[in-house]
Amino acid sequence: MTTMYVRRFDLKESLSDTEVRSFWSSLVDELVPACEKIAGMRSVKLYSGQGALRADLRVVFEMDNAAVYENLIHDGGLRTMLGHFYGAIDLRTSTQTWLREITPELVRAIGS
């Protein structure tokens, strides 16, 4: 069933403007396209609320199912890119949310 993973985050306050620009360039030009190549990944989108691309940020993965995320984090080619991503975000303020699509099949399974 379609699953969404949302990581909400702020960048570390200690990052310089140059480091923030490098973070976004690598995310947009390298990490997102690489993630989109994972089997079962439907889309990867980046969102900004407030904060001039430093805070109130989100990355949203739409996947065929939750197992796609496991494939993503175990992909050897993505390890360095994911390390760069997690190294730049403030994990103290970061949250994650999992959402699954409510389908007739899911409703039938709950009713069984």
Q: Give me the CATH number covering residue 70.
A: 3.30.70.100
94-106 pLDDT, tens digit per residue, is 999 999 999 898 8
pTM: 0.89
Mean pLDDT of 69-92: 94
What pLDDT band is residue 111 in, cutting at 50, 70 and 90?
A: confident
Q: How many domains does the chain have?
A: 1
Percent of the chain with pLDDT over 90: 88
Domain assignment of residue 59, given as a range? 3-111
Which one, of 12, 16, 8, 9, lies nearest residue 87 by Cα?
Answer: 12
Judged against a pLDDT cut of 80, whether residue 4 lies above it is answered with: yes
Pairing mode of beta strands 3-9, 41-48: unpaired
Under 8 Å between Cβ of 4 and 62: yes
